[in-house]
Amino acid sequence: MSNLTRREAIGTTAIGAAGLALSATASSAGAQEPQPIAAIAGKHIPKPLRFDPAKLSGLSERLITSHWENNYQGSVRGLNTIEKRLAAAMADPDYPTVAYAGMKREELHRTGSMVLHELYFDGLGGDGNPGGPIFEALDSWFGSYEDWEAEFRRTAMSLAGGSGWCILTWNAHTRSLHNYWAWDHMHGAAAGVPLIALDMYEHSYHMDYGTAAARYVDAFMANLDWEVIDARYQAATT
């Protein structure tokens, strides 16, 4: 150090100070980078079918596969896209509120479609024969299983030719079972836990039944897996 000239010493000190300043600036910039938001990460993965679609009774493999690949997976992809756009918008303090509102509506729509379709497909693959605590509960709330089924079918058919979902729901607030009418993916009873989700959009049956929606409902009921439905009921009520 004693061999350095005064000018060299000053230069070395200046370089060191500049380096520290750059380091501090980089650290500050890194600290200000937006962190990923787990709630809107856009990383949803489609669930595989839990049954062989070729073995359902009255619902063709072509229909089920098309419904699962196009409608369900399309909603999953759409939700991932919307969540990523929401995350980008949150990083922009000047992002227009009105545009954000539109994306939040689409987020709800796509989320409802994804969830209801997963409940729909996961509830299939059985022989349609009810049993377990859910069977007894339907007897209790509707007078008999047959009376529940009649009301469920009537609710479903009130949507035929239009769109929406018929949903057997455990309402955690009223502590009761109900068949609810849902005009789209965003309708649902507050505090409601879906147990059976019947898709009444035409894409779910038109390929097999045209406009004969009642025959589609027959086929849906014949393929319900009541072990799955009973497990949902017990999970919701415990």
CATH code for the domain in which residue 145 is found: 3.55.40.20
Cα separation, 178 vs 189, in Å, equals: 10
pTM of the model: 0.84
Cα separation, 33 vs 25, in Å, equals: 13
Tokens of 100: 């954000």
The reply to whether 146 and 196 lie within a common domain is yes
CATH code for the domain in which residue 81 is found: 1.10.287.990
For residue 7, being part of any structural domain is answered with no
Contacts of residue 9, Cβ cutoff 8 Å, sequence gap at least 6: 1
The reply to whether 144 and 91 lie within a common domain is no
The reply to whether 104 and 153 lie within a common domain is no
The reply to whether 195 and 149 lie within a common domain is yes
- For range 204-219, the mean pLDDT: 97
User: What are 141-173's pLDDT values in tens digits?
Assistant: 999 999 999 999 999 999 987 789 999 999 999
Cα separation, 22 vs 20, in Å, equals: 5
Is the per-residue pLDDT at 211 higher than 90?
yes
User: What are 90-135's pLDDT values in tens digits?
Assistant: 999 999 999 999 999 999 999 999 999 999 999 999 999 999 999 9
Residue in this structure with the two tokens 């954000």, named with its chain if needed: 100
- For range 26-36, the mean pLDDT: 51
Long-range contacts of 61-67 (CB under 8 A, 24+ apart): 62/207, 63/204, 63/205, 63/207, 63/208, 64/121, 64/124, 66/203, 66/207, 67/199, 67/203, 67/204
Cα separation, 101 vs 116, in Å, equals: 23
Of the three residues 90, 122, 154, the one that is the final residue of a domain is 122
Domain residues for the domain of 70 are 60-122
